[in-house]
Structure 1
Amino acid sequence: MPAHLEPRLLRAFLAVAEDLHFTRAAVRLYVAQQALSRDIRRLERELGAELFVRTTRQVALTPDGERLLPYARRALEAQDDLLAAFGRAGAPARAGTERPLLVDVNSPGLLSGRVLALARELAPDSELMARFESGLTGAATELLAGRLDASFGRFAGLDPALRDRLEQQPVRYEPMAVVLPEDHPLAALDAVPLDALAGERVYAGAGNPRTLEWTDLARQLFDGRGIEVAPPAPLAVGAEEFRRIMAKTRTPVLAVVDFPAMPGSVLRPLVDPVPLSPVSLVWRKGLMHQGVAALRAAAARLSAEEGWLERPVGGWIPAMDALVMRS
C-alpha cells in the first residue's frame, strides 16, 4: 500500500465511477482519454486492486472499486475544504465559490486576450483576472510560485525542469512579423521576405530574463540568414515610449501578426518562409479550477474555428517546437 495517493488519481477514479464511461469522464475532466486511462492504471497498481471491469460495451465497478468509492469521496471533499479555507483552487467548486483565476495574457491585443474573453463567456460564474507578465519564462516562475495560474507562450522554450512541473495545450502557430519605422525602406512592402532583413539588427528581447524563450526563437530563426539579434536595451513600456525609442534607434522589432499598432511604426508579416511562433496555454500541474477548464475549452474552440493549428505550407518552426505542438 502506498504511503500517499495523489488527489488527481482519486479524481480520475471518481469521474469514471460516476459516469461509467471513460470518454465522458475524460471530457468532464478536460484531459485526454489516454491520460485518464493511464491515471486509472496507476491508481490500480498503487492500491494493488482492480477497480473497473472494462468490456467493449460497458464499464463497471469491481467490488474493490465499490469499496474505494466512499473513501475517495471523503478524501476529495476534505482536500477541497482545506484548499477553500486557504483560498486556493482544488476540484471544480460550486458556481461563485472559487477564488479568482489569474491569467497572464502577456500584452494587450494578442490572441491570448481573445481566449480569455471567450473563457469568461463560457464560465460567467468564475472570475478570470488578466495580468501582463510579458514573457513565458518570467510567467513560469510566477505559475510555480502560485502567484499566477495560467499564461501563454512558447512552451518548448522553457527549461526542461520548468516544463516538467507545468501542463500545456497547443493554441496556435502564430505567423511572425517585424515592426519597422514608418519611413524604413522595407515599410513600403506588404510583406517582408526574411532575406531582406540581412544586415539588420532586430530587437528580440535580448537581455530581458523574462523573455528568454522569445530571444532563443529569434536566434534560431536568424541563424545563417545574416540577421543579428539587437543587443540588450531597456524595455519600452507603453505606446508613447515605444514610439520614442523606435524614432531614436530605428531598430526593427521581431513581433507576431497580432502585435498591436504602434505610433510611428508599421507592422509587416514575414515571408519566404513564414516563421511561426508556437503558442500554448500553460498552467501549473495539478491545478483544478473551472476557469482553467474554460480557458482550455475557449482555446480549443478558437483554434478549431480559425484554423490556428493548421501550419502554413513551408512555414518555419524549430523541430523541438513542432514536436511539443503535436503532443
Structure 2
Amino acid sequence: MSGHLDHRLLRGFVAVAEELHFTRAAVRLHVAQQALSRDVRRLERELGAELFVRTTRQVTLTPDGERLLPYARRVLQAQEELLAAFGQARPLLVDLNSPGLVTPRRVLHEARELAPRHELMARYESGLTGAAGELLAGRLDASFGRFAGLDPALRSGLDHQPVRLEPMAIVLPDDHRLAAWDAVPLAELAGESVYAGAGNPRTPEWTGLARLLFEGRGIDIAPPAPLAVGDEEFQRIMARTRNPVLAVVEFPALPSMVVRPLVDPVPLAPVSLVWRKGLTHPAFDALRRAAARLAAETGWLRRPRGAWLPAGDDVLMASHG
C-alpha cells in the first residue's frame, strides 16, 4: 500500500457499500458504472483486500469491506468538515468564457443549486488557453473548453471531465448567400474565408479545431481581426469584414446576423470542464456532479449520426467516459 488513498476511491466504496448495487451507486455519484467499478478494483488492489462479493444477482460486503466502512465514513466526514471550514474563505472562481455560451452557464447554475451554502463566482474571459496559465497558478479554479487543443505541457498539470460534444454552426450576415438555408453543408463553404479566432492568443485551441475541420475542404481561415470585447464590438467588426464566423449551435443571435448549423458531416466541438490537478474546494464536487448530471440528462455526450470529431479529441473525451 502506497500510504495515500484517493478520497474519490473511498467515496465510491461508501456509495456501493450503502447501495449494495453498482448501478444505483453510479447514479448517486453521477459517474459511469464502468468508472466506478474501476475505482473499487483499484481500492481493493491498494488495500490488498477484497471488499465486495459480486454475483449476477447481488453485491454484498466482505468482512474486510465491513471493517473498512466506518473508517471510510469518518475520513470522508473529516474531509468535508475541513474543506467547509477553509472553503468559506473564498469563492470557487469559474471561467465561463463568454456570457452567450449556454453549456458552461447551465453547469454553473446547476452547481449552485447543489451547493447553496457555497459561493461559485463566474467570470467571462474567452479561451481555454488563456485560462490554463491561471488555472495552473491557482488564480482560477475551473474553466471550460477543448482540452485536446491545449499544449501538452499545460495539459500535464490539468485534468478534465467531458461535458458536451456540441454541434458547430456558422454565423453569417443576414444577406449572405447561405443565410436562407436552414442548415449549411460544409461543402458549401468552399472558397469562403471563415473567421475562427486566428491571432487571438487566448483561443488557439479553437483555431486549431477549425484548421482540422477545414483541411481538404477548400475553406480558408480568415486572417486575424481586432479582438472584439462585447457583442456590439463583435457585430461591428464582423459587419466590416463580412467573414462567416465558426461558432456553436447555441451561439446567441445578434442583429443583422444569423446562426446556421453545419451538416454533412455534423462537426462537434468537444467541451470539457477543466481544472488544475489536486484542486480541493467544497464547491468543486458540486461543479463536477452538475456537469455529469447535465451530460447524462440531456445526452450532451451522444454523437449524432455522421458526426465529425478529430481523433485526438476523440481519445481524450472517451478516456474519461
Smaller-chain TM-score bracket:
0.7 to 0.9
**Residue 213 of structure 1: CA displacement?**
1.8
Which position in structure 1 is the counterpart of 2:98? 107
Is residue 166–residue 248 contact of structure 2 (8 Å, CA) maintained in 1?
Answer: no
Which of 217, 221, 238 is the aligned partner of 2:213?
221
Is residue 150–residue 292 contact of structure 1 (8 Å, CA) maintained in 2?
Answer: no
TM-score w.r.t. length of structure 1: 0.79
Which position in structure 1 is the counterpart of 2:4? 4
Q: Which amino acid aligns with 2:50?
A: E
**Residue 204 of structure 1: CA displacement?**
0.8
Which position in structure 2 is the counterpart of 1:129? 121
**Residue 168 of structure 1: CA displacement?**
1.4
Which of 201, 205, 217 is the aligned partner of 1:209?
201
Which position in structure 1 is the counterpart of 2:150? 158
What whole-Å deviation, never above 9, does each CA across 1:270-294 have from its counterpart, x for those lacking one?
3343333233444555655234313
What whole-Å deviation, never above 9, does each CA across 1:230-266 have from its counterpart, x for those lacking one?
2333320112211221233233221122111223433
Aligned residue runs from structure 1 range 1-327, under 5 A: 1-87=1-87, 100-112=91-103, 113-121=105-113, 124=116, 127-160=119-152, 162-163=154-155, 165-174=158-167, 176-283=168-275, 289-303=285-299, 308-326=300-318, 327=321
**Residue 205 of structure 1: CA displacement?**
1.2
TM-score w.r.t. length of structure 2: 0.81
Gap change, CA 1:50 and 1:25, over 3 Å in 2: same
Is residue 226–residue 237 contact of structure 2 (8 Å, CA) maintained in 1?
Answer: no
**Residue 301 of structure 1: CA displacement?**
1.6
Gap change, CA 1:114 and 1:17, over 3 Å in 2: closer
Is residue 130–residue 201 contact of structure 2 (8 Å, CA) maintained in 1?
Answer: yes
Is residue 135–residue 211 contact of structure 1 (8 Å, CA) maintained in 2?
Answer: yes
* Secondary structure of the structure 2 residue equivalent to 1:289: helix
Q: Which amino acid aligns with 2:286?
A: Q
Q: Which amino acid aligns with 1:17?
A: A
Distance 2:54 2:265 in 1: 49
Gap change, CA 1:146 and 1:26, over 3 Å in 2: farther
* Secondary structure of the structure 2 residue equivalent to 1:210: coil
**Residue 36 of structure 1: CA displacement?**
2.2
Specify every segment of 5 or more residues in structure 2 that has no aligned partner in the other structure, as ranges. Answer: none
Gap change, CA 1:246 and 1:77, over 3 Å in 2: same
Which position in structure 2 is the counterpart of 1:93? none
Gap change, CA 1:48 and 1:98, over 3 Å in 2: farther
**Residue 206 of structure 1: CA displacement?**
1.6
User: RMSD value over aligned CA atoms?
Assistant: 3.1
Gap change, CA 1:30 and 1:189, over 3 Å in 2: closer
Gap change, CA 1:262 and 1:125, over 3 Å in 2: same
* Secondary structure of the structure 2 residue equivalent to 1:270: strand
**Residue 98 of structure 1: CA displacement?**
10
Gap change, CA 1:268 and 1:83, over 3 Å in 2: same
Distance 2:233 2:285 in 1: 37
Which position in structure 2 is the counterpart of 1:94? none
Distance 1:274 1:67 in 2: 52
**Residue 4 of structure 1: CA displacement?**
2.3
Gap change, CA 1:63 and 1:189, over 3 Å in 2: closer
* Secondary structure of the structure 1 residue equivalent to 2:203: helix
Distance 1:311 1:63 in 2: 43
Distance 1:166 1:139 in 2: 13
* Secondary structure of the structure 2 residue equivalent to 1:82: helix
Gap change, CA 1:40 and 1:203, over 3 Å in 2: same
Is residue 242–residue 262 contact of structure 1 (8 Å, CA) maintained in 2?
Answer: no
Is residue 98–residue 126 contact of structure 1 (8 Å, CA) maintained in 2?
Answer: no
Gap change, CA 1:126 and 1:272, over 3 Å in 2: same
Distance 1:247 1:11 in 2: 53
**Residue 163 of structure 1: CA displacement?**
4.9
Gap change, CA 1:275 and 1:20, over 3 Å in 2: closer
Gap change, CA 1:247 and 1:78, over 3 Å in 2: same
Is residue 110–residue 259 contact of structure 1 (8 Å, CA) maintained in 2?
Answer: yes
Is residue 167–residue 285 contact of structure 1 (8 Å, CA) maintained in 2?
Answer: no
Q: Which amino acid aligns with 2:204?
A: L
